[in-house]
Amino acid sequence: MREIENLKRAILEEYPRLTADDTFKFNCRPGVSCFNECCGDVNIFLTPYDILRMKNRLGISSEEFLDNYTITPIDKNQNYPVILLKMQDNEGKTCHFVGSEGCTIYEDRPWACRYYPVGLASPKEGENDSDEDFYFILKEDVCKGFAEGDTEWTIGQWRTDQGLEAFDEFGKLYKEITLHDYFTQGKQLDVPRMELFHMACYNLDKFRYFIKESTFLQRFDLEEGLIDKIMVDDEELLRFGFRWLKFALFAEKTIDIKPSALSG
Ligand code: SF4
Ligand code: SF4
């Protein structure tokens, strides 16, 4: 985690800050000399939407996905739980999803794999929270995509080509939680609220079960039709999860409480 923190600091303090109109030359394709080399021994943070896409791609529950394909590093300085993609226990520590032809879950690969070699940073993660998000280019020795790259991209074109719109929509909602003023004011979540964060963000099947089987629906007044939607649609459930977390973690009035629950 220290390595990751150092990189984060360098990105915020030293890397050129790019916009969607800035360009770079890059060419990643089967046949490139480093093909698949970036899919091993690498730290890949998974967002809630990454987990949703990957577990559905694999046709397994979120619990099964978390158990088999992720690790949750524990760091007492962390404001909230984070999830990393687990690499295999082999010599190259390769990703579970890399095959001879490349990524076997390509259409549902995570946000970080899509963006690479572009990154998106939020200055709020550092000292100065007054600046806007910015893009940066991450050059790693292993990657020959720059040397072999004769294709020029704007960052905006790259985002479209890599199918990042939906990932960025959910990424923005996630950041409204992870970069909330609550944390920048130095407050910390207690263990029960850490668990709520983990469930609503990462373990959607458990969150759905919780809504259905606990007293949740007796306590909260949800809009007509919403319950039906979140019972069958993971994306609706995740959107609702972010909204509910603002209520449950930060006491924002994002959900109405039923009068009967208040009087009881
Ligand atoms: S998810 Fe796919 S693209 Fe990402 S590291 Fe694994 S194999 Fe590579
Ligand atoms: S190392 Fe770079 S060029 Fe090589 S496969 Fe990975 S992203 Fe593509």
State if residue 95 touches ligand 1 by the CB under 6 angstroms criterion: yes
Q: What percent of the chain has pLDDT over 90?
A: 78
For the CA of 106, the nearest atom of ligand 1: 2
**Would you state the pLDDT for residue 169?**
95
Minimum-distance ligand 1 atom for the alpha carbon of 109:
1
- Structure tokens of 240? 């609702």
* Ligand 1 touching residue 113 (CB < 6 A): yes
Q: How remote is the CA of residue 94 from the centroid of ligand 1, in Å?
A: 9
Cα of 156 vs centre of ligand 2, distance in Å, is 20
Ligand 2 in reach of 143 Cβ (< 6 A): yes
Centroid of ligand 1 to alpha carbon of 103 (angstroms): 5
Q: Which two tokens stand for residue 156?
A: 């905006």
pLDDT at 78: 86
Protein residue with least CA distance to atom 6, ligand 2: 38
Please tell me the distance between residue 43's alpha carbon and the centre of ligand 2 in angstroms: 15
**How many angstroms is it from 24 CA to the middle of ligand 1?**
22
pLDDT per position as a tens digit, 75-89: 878 899 999 999 999
pLDDT at residue 76, rounded to an integer: 78
Contact 74, 112 (CB under 8 A): no
pLDDT in tens, 116-142: 999 999 887 555 555 788 999 999 888
- In angstroms, the CA 48 to CA 203 distance is 8
Q: Six-digit token pair at 175?
A: 């950041």
128 CB-side CA count, 13 A: 9
Instruction: Give tens-digit pLDDT for 28-70.
Output: 988 889 999 999 999 999 999 999 999 999 999 999 999 999 9
